[in-house]
Structure 1
Amino acid sequence: MNYDVIDTQIAPEGQLEVLSKAEVAKLRDNSQGGLYNLFRNCSLAVLNSGNAMDDGKELLERFKSFEISIIQRERGIKLDIKGAPASAFVDGQMIKGIREQLFAVLRDVIFVSNEIQDDPRFDLSTTEGTTDAVFHILRNANVLKPLISPNLVVCWGGHSISRTEYEYTKKVGYQLGLRAMDVCTGCGPGAMKGPMKGATIGHAKQRISGGRYLGITEPGIIAAEAPNPIVNDLVILPDIEKRLEAFVRLGHGIVVFPGGAGTAEEILYLLGILLHPDNAELPFPLVFTGPHSAAPYFEQIDRFISDTLGSEARQRYQVIIDDPVEVARQMQAGIKRVREYRKEKADAYYFNWRLRIDREFQKPFLPTHENMRNLKLQRQQATHLLAANLRRAFSGVVAGNVKEQGILAIEKHGPFEIHGDPDIMASMDALLTSFVDQHRMKLPGKKYIPCYRIIK
C-alpha cells in the first residue's frame, strides 16, 4: 500500500542552529556506534503524530523510504527530509508544533550522546550518577522551572482506551487546568492526550497563557506512542528507566487513568519507590480514576497490588470513580502538602531530589527471552524489590506488544515465558487476561496475539 509523503527542507528557529562537524558525522553514521538510525526512527515517529498506530515495526515498514539528513552550511544547519508522512503538513508546510518536536529530537539525541554517554562525569552504574544524568537532560531541554510553585500533574494511562474513558480524561484535565495546574504525560494518544486537551480549555478560561503540556518519552516507545500535537515541551530520555525517573522527579502528583501493561508498569514503578523505607514520610499524591465503566479495571488493579505488594502499598493511593472535580481537588490538596514539605526541607520545587530511588529501579532492563525467564518473581525479597521485578515483567510485555525490537524477538523465538511463585503468577495472569478481554493491549480493531506465556 502507498502512503502520501512529502519531501522538504527546514531550518531550526532559535534552537540548535549550529552543529559541529563531529556531531554531523555522528548523525550521518548508520553503523552500530552512529546516531543515524536512532535520529531517523525518532524523527519519523514525531512526523507520524496523529496517526492511529501502536506498532513501531509497522511504522518503519510503512515508511521504508523515509530519510532525514543534515545539511551543514556556514550560517547554520538544515534538515533535508524525504518521504515524510503527509499528515505532518498543511498546504505543503510542516505543522509548527511538529517542527518544534523534530528539533527537540535532534537536541536530545545529540545531548545524550555527547554529554551523557560519552562523558566520564556521569557514572550510570550508580544511583547518584543516573539521577544526575536525568537532571542534566531535563535541564538541557529547559523544562526545569525554578520560579514556579509546585503545579505539575503527571497523568498516566493507556493509548488504547474507549471513547468514554478518553472523554473522562479530558474532563479531569479541564478541572486541573481550571486550578492552574499543568500536565505532563507520556505524550502519546488516548489517556496521554486527553488530560492535555482538557487542560488547554481550563487554562484558556482562567486566561493562563503559559500552560505547560510536557511530554516525556524514550526511543523504544516513541514510534508506538507518537507525541500528540498539544505537547509544547518534548523530552526524549535514553531508556524507559530514565523516562520513569524523569516523571517522578518532575511531577508533584500523579493521576492514573485506565490503561494496559504500560500503565501497570508505571504503577509498579512508583509504588515500589514509595515503599522504600526512606520514602515513608515523603508526600506524593497518587490518584487512580476513571468513569463508571472503568471501575472493574481499577478493582482488578487494586486486587493485584493487594495480592502481590500487600496493604502497605494500597495506603499510597486512592481510587476515585467518575468524579473529575474531586480528583482535581485531591490533587490540589496533595500538591499543597508537597509544597509545604519541600519548603520545610529546603528541597527544590522543580526536581524531587529527596525521593530515594533504589538502584534496582534504575538499571536498564533488556526484555530478552532469557531475561524475562530469569526474573525474580518470588516473595523471598523486600517488597519494593518485588515491585521492581514485577515492573520489569510488564515492561517486557510492553516491548513484545509495541516495540520493534520486542516484536522481532517474539516473531523469532515465540512468546516470552514468565515464571514465579504460583500465587503471584495466578494474579498476574488474571490481570493480563482482563487487559486482553477489555481490549487494552492494542488499538481498537486490531486483533491481539499474546506476546507472553505465564508459567504457573
Structure 2
Amino acid sequence: MKSIQLNPVGAMSQLSQSEVDHLRQSTNSQLYALFRNCCLAVLNSGVEQDNYEAMFAPYENFNVNLVRRERGVKIELINPPPVAFVDGKLIRGVHEHLFAVLRDILHMGAKYHLPDADTLETRVVTDMVFDMLRHANTIHVGGDPNIAVCWGGHSIGESEYRYTKEVGYQMGLREVNICTGCGPGAMKGPMKGATIGHAKQRYKRGRYLGISEPSIIAAEPPNAIVNELVIMPDIEKRLEAFVRIAHTIVIFPGGVGTAEELLYILGIMLHDQNSGHVLPIILTGPKHCEAYFQALDKFIGATLGPEAQQLYEIIVDDPKQVALKVKQNQQLVNDYRRSTGDSYHFNWSLKIDTQFQVPFIPTHENMAALDLHMEQEKSELASNLRKAFSGIVAGNVKADGIKQIREKGPFEINGDSTLMAMMDDLLRSFVTQQRMKLPGSEYKPCYRVVTE
C-alpha cells in the first residue's frame, strides 16, 4: 500500500480554517518530525519492541501529510506499516490513535511551545496538564470516579504478565477503570484482564486510558487495548497527569522506570502540605516476586525512611485482595475529596513542587551533577533519585539517550558511598531479573555507579 487518506475522528473532527492552516505550517518544524515518529509508533501498535531503531529502520520511506479540507484536516499516510491493516483496511483503534497524536503533538504542542516552559509556576504547569487532559476528553465530569493507575515494567516474565491480567480482571469485575503507560507488559496486562471483567458485568463505560510521552511512545508503541490515548509533552507532565487523575495507584514489578514512578509519587506525598492526603498506593505481584518487593521496600526505608514506607501497602500473590482494596480505597478517596471540596476527577489539591515538574534532560553532565547524598530533605532526595532512574530509562530505550551512550559511553552516577552501594545493589537486581530490556534482548548497562 503506497498511500491512504484518513478522515478525522474525535476531538480533531471539527477545526477552524485558521487552525488547519496553523497545523499545516507546523509541517516544516521540528515538532512535525516528532509527529511523524509518533504516528509511526502508533501504526506499530501491539508490536512488542523496545528498540526504536529496529522498529523504525524498515520504514525510512514512511511519511505523513496533512491534507486541508473545508471542515478540518485529513491525515495522509505514505508507505505505512502493513501490521496496522486488516484485509487492506486500517484498524479502527489505530485510526483513532493517529488523530490523538495529531491533537496532542501538533495542536496542543504548538499551543504550549513556550521558550520559558521550564520556569513556569507550579499552578501554570498543573493548568497545562489539566488543559491537555480535558482537551483529550479524558476528564469525564459526571462519570465514575474509579480510575486505578497501574504502573509496572514493560520487560516482565510470562507469570508476572498473567498476574497483572488477573488483577485487572478482578478490578474489572468491580467496575474499576484502568490507566497505564499504554505499552506492553504490566501496562497491557491490567487492561486485558479488565476487558473480560467489564464484559462479564456488562459494564458499558470501560476505560483503558494510556498516557505516554513522545520519547517513550517511540520505543514502546501503545498496546491494542488502549481506547483513550494521551501524549503529554514530557515525562514530568506525564507523571503529573497520572497522579492527578488517579483514585488509586497499583504498582506491579518492574525495573528502573517503575522505580522512577514510585519515587516520584513518594516524593510528592512526603511534602508537608500533602500530610493526610488520601491517595492509596498498592505494590503487588506473584509469589516469586516477594524478594523484589522486599529489596525495593528496603531501599525506600534506607533512603526515604519509615514515613515513606507507610505510604504504600504490599500485597503478594492475591489479585482478589488487591481489587477489594482498590474498591474500598475508591470510597475513601471520594469521601476525602468531598470533605475538602476537591474534584472527583482531577486531584487539584495535591501539592507538587517545581522540582517534580521541571523537565530533567538526561545528559552526561546532568546525570553526573545530580545531588545524590543522604543529608537533604527526603522529598528532595526522592526527586534526585527519580531523576537518576529517569536517566537510566533514557539510556535504555529512548532515542536521544541511546545516541548519547553510543557516542560518549555510559552515564556516570555519583554520590556518597552508602547511597551508591544501595543503588548499585538495586540496579544489579533489576539486571539479574531481566527487567531492563524485553526478554531475549541482551542488556549492556547504560550507566556506571561511582562512589565518592
| TM-score after normalising by structure 2 | 0.96
How far does residue 23 in structure 1 lie from its aligned partner after superposition? 2.1
| Structure 1 match to 2:232 | 237
Amino acid at match of 2:25: K
Aligned residue identity for 1:85: P
Cα–Cα, structure 1 residues 417 and 47, in superposed 2: closer, same or farther, change >3 Å?
A: same
Identical aligned residues as a percent = 54
Distance 2:344 2:52 in 1: 36
Aligned to 1:258: 253
CA contact (8 A) 1:29 1:36 kept: yes
Correspondence 1:401 to 2:396: yes
**Which residue of the partner structure matches residue 283 of structure 2?**
288
The separation in 1 between residues aligned to 2:165 and 2:56, in whole angstroms, is 31
**In structure 2, how many angstroms separate the alpha carbons of the residues matched to 1:296 and 1:256?**
15
**Letter aligned with residue 450 of structure 1:** P
* Displacement after TM superposition at 1:223 (Å): 1.4
The offset of 1:55, in angstroms, is 2.0
Q: Could you tell me which residue of structure 2 aligns to residue 448 of structure 1?
A: 443
Please state how far the C-alpha of 1:118 moved relative to its aligned partner. 4.9
Report what 1:24 is aligned to: 23
Aligned to 1:56: 52
Q: Which amino acid aligns with 2:7?
A: A
Measured in 1, the distance between the counterparts of 2:119 and 2:106 equals 18
Q: Kindly state the Cα deviation for residue 455 of structure 1 after the two structures are TM-superposed.
A: 0.3
| Superposed structure 1 runs of 4+ greater than 4 Å apart | none
What is the rounded CA distance, in whole Å, between the counterparts of 1:6 and 1:285 in structure 2?
Answer: 50
Q: For 1:255 and 1:75, locate their aligned partners in 2 and report how far apart those are by CA, in whole Å.
A: 42
Structure 1 gap ranges (5+): none
Aligned equivalents of 2:334 and 2:20: distance in 1?
45
Q: Aligned pair 1:361/2:356, yes or no? A: yes
Task: For residue 370 of structure 2, give the secondary structure of its aligned residue in structure 1.
Answer: coil
Partner of 2:190: 195
Check whether the contact 2:180–2:209 (CA below 8 A) recurs between aligned residues.
Answer: yes
What is the RMSD computed on CA atoms of the aligned residues? 1.6
Matched, 1:70 2:71: no
Aligned to 1:130: 125
TM-aligned CA distance change 1:64 to 1:354, over 3 Å:
same
Equivalence for 1:207: 202
Task: Please say if 1:182 is aligned against 2:177.
Answer: yes
- The residue aligned with 2:149 is 154
CA displacement, residues 47-80 of structure 1 (integer Å, 9 cap, x when unaligned): 1111121022332333222111111133542211
Secondary structure at 2:279's aligned position in 1? coil
Q: Give the 5 Å matches for 1:82-101.
A: 82-101=78-97
Once structures 1 and 2 are overlaid, which stretch shifts more, 296-305 or 70-79? 70-79
Give me the whole-angstrom Cα distance separating, in 2, the residues matched to 1:21 and 1:230: 30
| Cα 1:378–1:26 shift into 2, 3 Å | farther
Cα distance between partner residues in 2 of 1:75 and 1:283: 45
8 Å Cα contact 1:151-1:335 kept in structure 2:
yes
- In the alignment, does 2:328 pair up with 1:329? no
2:113 maps to: 117
How many residue pairs were aligned?
448
d(CA) in 1 for partners of 2:9 and 2:190?
Answer: 28
1:366 alignment partner, SS class? coil
8 A Cα contact 2:169 2:196, kept in partner: yes
Contact 2:413 2:450 in 1 (8 A): yes
**Contact 1:378-1:421 within 8 A present in 2 as well:** yes
Instruction: Tell me if structure 2 keeps the 8 A contact 1:260–1:441.
Output: yes
1:297 to 2:292 alignment: yes
Give the whole-Å Cα distance in 2 for the aligned partners of 1:123 and 1:452: 26
Find the counterpart in structure 2 of residue 438 from structure 1: 433
What SS does the corresponding residue of 1:220 show, helix, strand or coil? helix
Counterpart Cα distance in 1 of 2:10 and 2:230: 17
Pairwise CA distance, 1:6: 5.7
Instruction: Give the distance between the partners of 2:53 and 2:273, measured in 1 at CA.
Output: 41
Per the alignment, do residues 199 and 21 of structure 1 end up closer, same or farther by CA in structure 2, a change over 3 Å counting?
closer
**Does the CA-based 8 Å contact 1:56-1:221 persist in structure 2?**
no
1:13 Cα deviation (Å)?
2.9
In the aligned structure 1, how far is the partner of 2:195 from the partner of 2:258?
A: 24
Give distance in 2, aligned partners of 1:124 and 1:25: 29
- Give the partner amino acid of 1:23: H
2:374 pairs with 1:375: no
Q: Give the aligned partner of residue 106 of structure 1.
A: 102
Distance 1:346 1:148, change over 3 A: same
**What residue ranges of structure 2 are gaps of 5+ in the alignment?**
none
Aligned mates of 1:352, 1:24 — CA distance in 2: 32
Query: Separation in 2 of the partners of 1:26 and 1:368?
Result: 31
Distance in structure 2 (CA, Å) of the matches to 1:301 and 1:68: 44
Q: TM-score normalized by structure 1?
A: 0.95
The corresponding residue for 2:336 is 341
Aligned-residue offset at 1:381: 1.3
Structure 2 residue matching 1:387: 3-state secondary structure: helix
Structure 1 contact 123–130 (Cα < 8 Å) conserved: no
Alignment deviations for residues 269-312 of structure 1 (CA, whole Å, 9 cap, x no partner): 00000111111100111100000121121111111111111111
* Residues 32 and 106, structure 2, Cα contact 8 Å, conserved in 1: no
In the alignment, which residue of structure 1 is the partner of 2:41? 45
Alpha-carbon separation, structure 2, partners of 1:26 and 1:167: 46
Deviation, 1:210, is 1.4
Deviations 1:105-163 (A, max 9, x none): 0011133233323599x885211110010010001000011213421000000111000
Contact 2:20 2:73 in 1 (8 A): no
Give the whole-Å Cα distance in 1 for the aligned partners of 2:69 and 2:139: 32
Distance 1:174 1:118, change over 3 A: same
TM-aligned CA deviation for residue 14 of structure 1 = 4.8
Question: Structure 2 counterpart of 1:225, which letter?
Answer: E
